[in-house]
């Protein structure tokens, strides 16, 4: 799928988690719901860091472009070293390592550990990175081009500072779900994991499928492209994504938000 659909699906997924948490008696304070939705929207773009044309690979200028090259080579190396006879030969790492549940859990766990061990500045960094990605994804065409990068960074930095200040206030959710001393912001890893997995599920619906189950072998393949029957798949950017899935994500997000805030 394309950037906007990925980001919308990520935000909708977290709002759905908010609704489920409220039903289970662990209601999210509104700052957690908002911040989690934005992080999840940004994290839903992150697996495409293995592709030089992706939003995330261009969102932070030369830094993200260089990181993209490294991740692509790492992903390709992982593919070559673990492929089985049924896996096709390929020349790059796109839709391999970063599109697996292992990567999602690793990145989310790393985010959580960083947040609880390095404190406020780490939290601000996590918020900033995902805020940039959320803005780029949700305002896809409006945020195109290098001339808008600085404005996006400034907006993300300002928003991150305000949201971090809001979360730090008593009762606003810095310790949501994990309440033991020293576990503040441990929950930040959850929207990161969810966003990555939602991205993988979205890509699994497209023509190429997605090897989300790696390294679990399926038949003669370790990088099996999981997906529905081919007749039910669509091409990224097609009318199915734009005219069907995008409105569905918006409606589901709105319903999840209303349920999470006990409006319905």
Strands (E), 27-118: none
Q: What is the CA angle 213-218-220, rounded to 5?
A: 130
Pick the closest to residue 42 from 171, 132, 121 (CA basis): 132
Residues 6+ apart with CB under 8 A from 19: 255, 256, 257, 259, 260
Of residues 44 and 149, the one with the higher pLDDT is 44
Max Cα–Cα distance, the chain, nearest Å: 56
Q: Which two tokens stand for residue 37?
A: 């939705």
Stretch (H or E) spanning 222 = none
pTM: 0.93
Q: Which pLDDT value is given to residue 58?
A: 87
Residues 1 and 199: their CA atoms lie apart, in Å, by 8
Task: Answer whether residue 176 shows pLDDT above 90.
Answer: yes
Arithmetic mean of pLDDT over the chain? 92
Domain extent listing, the chain: 3-19+29-248
Q: pLDDT tens-digit profile of 75-99? A: 999 999 999 999 999 888 999 999 9
Confidence of residue 224 (pLDDT cuts 50, 70, 90): very high
Residue 37 has pLDDT above 60, yes or no: yes
**pLDDT tens-digit map of 122-167:** 999 999 999 999 998 888 655 555 557 888 999 999 999 999 999 9
Query: Which pLDDT does position 2 carry in this prediction?
Result: 81
DSSP letter string, 175-207: TSS--STT-TTGGGHHHHHHHHHHHHHHHHTBT
């Amino acid at each position: 799928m394309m950037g906007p659909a990925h980001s919308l699906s990520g935000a909708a997924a977290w709002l759905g988690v908010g609704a489920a948490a409220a039903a289970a008696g662990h209601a999210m304070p509104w700052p957690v719901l908002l911040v989690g939705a934005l992080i999840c929207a940004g994290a839903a773009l992150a697996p495409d860091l293995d592709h030089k044309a992706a939003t995330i690979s261009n969102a932070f200028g030369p830094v993200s472009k260089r990181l993209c090259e490294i991740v692509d080579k790492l992903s390709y190396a992982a593919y070559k070293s673990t492929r089985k006879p049924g896996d096709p030969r390929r020349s790059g790492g796109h839709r391999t390592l970063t599109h697996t549940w292992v990567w999602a859990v690793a990145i989310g766990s790393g985010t959580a550990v960083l947040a609880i061990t390095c404190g406020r500045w780490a939290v601000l960094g996590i918020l900033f990175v995902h805020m940039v990605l959320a803005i780029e994804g949700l305002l896809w065409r409006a945020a195109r081009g290098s001339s808008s990068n600085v404005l996006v960074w400034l907006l993300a930095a300002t928003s991150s500072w305000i949201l971090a200040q809001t979360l730090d206030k008593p009762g606003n959710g810095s310790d949501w779900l994990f309440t033991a001393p020293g576990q503040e912001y441990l929950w930040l890893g959850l929207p990161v994991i969810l966003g990555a997995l939602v991205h993988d599920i979205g890509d699994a619906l497209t023509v190429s499928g997605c090897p989300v189950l790696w390294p679990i072998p399926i038949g003669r393949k370790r990088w099996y492209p999981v997906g529905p029957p081919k007749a039910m798949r669509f091409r990224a950017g097609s009318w199915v994504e734009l005219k069907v899935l995008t409105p569905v994500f918006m409606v589901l997000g709105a319903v999840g938000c209303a349920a999470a805030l006990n409006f319905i």
